[in-house]
Amino acid sequence: MAELFVAGLSHKTAPIAVREQLAVEEDKLREILLNVHAAGILPEVMILSTCNRVEVYGVADVPGEARALAFRHLAQQRGLDLPSLEPMLYTKSGTDAVHHCFRVAASLDSMILGEPQILGQVKEAFALAQSCQTVGPLLHRLLTQAFAVAKKVRTETELARHAVSVAYAAVELARKIFGSLDGKSILLIGAGKMGELAARHLVDQGAFPIFVANRTWSRAQEMARALAATAIPFEEWVESLATVDIVITSTGASEPIVRTVDVQRCLHARRLRPLFFIDIGVPRDVEPAVNELEPVFCYDIDDLRQVVESNIRERQREAQKAEALVEREVLRFSARAQDVEVVPTIVSLRERLEAIRRGEVEKALAGLPNADPQTRRALEAMSQSIVNKILHTPTVKLRESSRSGHGRGWTEMVQELFGLGRERDEK
């Protein structure tokens, strides 16, 4: 009997060098997907390929055989052999596969709890499998429900709310200081990667315009182009303190370049507008005494890391709520999947009894040629009520037996008792 399974490797089981080799672009992934599906042992299959995981979701009679087939194809395209991958691979089937899929989509299995990218990546993998026509009813139900679970985790918990990167922690602090970041101007001193990332996050929240100052003019221009910013000569950044709102420093200088006296000199022109320094430099770029000025706020790399550590603890607390939500949704999915086993029998039974009901009502009405509309409606209502009451107990029993793992025996008995199998044979 075909079974739902997921097999793969992730950041938990395989080093980045292996994950990088197995990760493939969409065109190659499409080819592998079609070849694996064409082999005939995977009637339903989807492949999720990211920098942190490569997983095969499928339906197969023998999941181990299907896993070997899929990863043989994935390994061959980079010259790897399957035996070298086997120790890193995991396989989950049935309810465990459902649970894993829901956790992955909800970013509970990610390297960074609550990161939003994985849901988009799962959706892209699903869309690719659909376009290759390798998705069947079971994978469709699984992934549709996984997307709904991820949405519930996002809306019913605060798993993704708390910043867990230094760059984004700076944005979180800026929002606390300014409220809205719309139209807040940024001065980027130095051209470090983390400073650039913080600037990008701020721009995503509406901050603009941006000015870039760097000792190397060509590097300032390069970063300005990347950020749609304006490059200014390095010796002119002090004058900019009178007009900008947020200053990000990441220079690599051996001693502070932002001096208290320079900041104090610009405050009169600012007319009490807050000035926020994000000092990502190690050693620090901003003199500690700057933070004592009013209305100036200064956070260095240690302050930002404390925010990150606090937020990681918050995410872990929210993850517990999310895990409980996922457990409930897995139970719901499993119950529905088990119901699918008995639904055809329930439908056939209803159709059988409905045919009997209609026949008997027609006979009764044939003997009552003068029956008025009210009498006819009463006969219809009474007969429908009888059918519903007769159906109630066997329907409940069929669903209960399916959920306890005994659905097949009960469906066969009901089919035999009501002649449902013979009726299908006659058709």
Q: Can you tell me whether residue 161 is helix, strand or coil?
A: coil
Q: Residue 214 and residue 237: Cα distance in Å, rounded?
A: 9
Long-range contacts (CB closer than 8 Å, 24 or more residues apart) made by 376-379: none
Amino acid letter, 361:
V
Which one of 51, 101, 266, 298 is the catalytic residue?
51
Q: Phi-psi bin for 24: left (phi > 0), alpha (psi -120 to 50), beta?
A: beta
**Residue matched to tokens 């600037």:** 199
**Residue matched to tokens 């079974």:** 3
Evaluate whether 292 touches 157 at the Cβ level (below 8 Å): no
Bridge partners (DSSP) of residue 277 are: 247, 298
C-alpha of 178 from chain center: 30
Longest dimension (CA), the chain: 107
291 φ, ψ to 5°? -70, -15
Q: Is residue 132 annotated as part of the catalytic site, yes or no?
A: no
- Residues labelled as active-site residues: 51
